[in-house]
Amino acid sequence: MTQIITGFHAIEEKVRRALESGKNSGLSIQLAKTGPRIKKILEAAKKAGIPVVNADKNALDALVRGLPEGARDHRGIVLVFEGAPEKPENETDFDAWVCAAKKQEGQRLTVIVLDSVTDPHNTGAILRSCDQFGASLAVMPSRHSASDFSDNEIIARSSAGASAYVPVSVVTNLVRAVQQLKDAGFWVYGADAGGESVTKIKFPPKTCIVMGSEGKGISRLLEEQCDSIVSIPTCGKIDSLNVSVAAGVLLYETYRQALV
């Protein structure tokens, strides 16, 4: 299997992981131009023992032709991986994670649940916010979502490499997963424009935030599991925020409150 990786952040992260692990088998860089950012990548690739092959723009265009449109902008460098994809280190067994969380009393743990968030750009942006604001786990359903985070270059690019760091669990049933979180002591907050203002909410140490899909919001059965519905005060002329922006705001607020 051949995997084509584009985007400076995503390539840098793959090279860094190869350097740290010493595993560079099947990796190579196809290069059509240089620049300060690319030179930095090449220096790390040399240390990691990843071969670099000079190519022209047409050759790189051909390599990325089969990728989603948003991942075809190679900017002169492509990382190629030949071989079976490995299970990402941050893929997390949900049941084991919840079992461990039950024993962690008083420790700040923030979980974000993505209910049918299907746009990989949104998923990547949310994972980037998870990394920046210390989320403990992101949970996605195996169906009706951009849950293939380990092999999706749009997610990798949109997350600026955070998709390789943030613990992620892919589950078959979100309702059951949220019930398990509640049993482990989490308070569950669903995000919706009609909820209580986030400025009035004090998030507990164990907080779960549920983000609904881009079009339909949180499903009815999942909303019934929420202890409270939270909204973000705005002043614009349109009626809602993009799901990734809203997730970033709410994750920041949980982080900010923990610092106070």
pLDDT in tens, 188-242: 999 998 899 999 999 999 999 999 987 788 999 999 999 999 999 988 777 678 9
3-state secondary structure 152-181: CHHHHHHCCCHHHCCCEEEECCHHHHHHHH
d(CA 157, CA 161): 6
pLDDT at site 111: 98
Superfamily holding 94-259:
SPOUT methyltransferase, trefoil knot domain (3.40.1280.10)
CATH 3.30.1360.10 fits 2-82, yes or no: no
User: Which amino acid would we find at residue 236?
Assistant: G
Q: How far is CA 17 from CA 21, 33, 86, 219, in A?
A: 6, 23, 13, 37
pLDDT tens-place string over residues 41-96: 999 999 999 999 999 999 999 998 888 777 788 999 999 988 766 656 688 999 99
d(CA 105, CA 9): 36
Where are the chain's structural domains? Answer: 2-82, 94-259
- Which residues have a Cβ under 8 Å from the Cβ of 190 and sit 6 or more positions away? 209, 210, 212, 218, 222, 223, 226, 228, 229, 230
Q: Which of 163, 171, 162, 205 is nearest to 94 (CA)?
A: 171
Tokens (6 digits) for 207:
């907080």
Tokens (6 digits) for 132:
């920046």
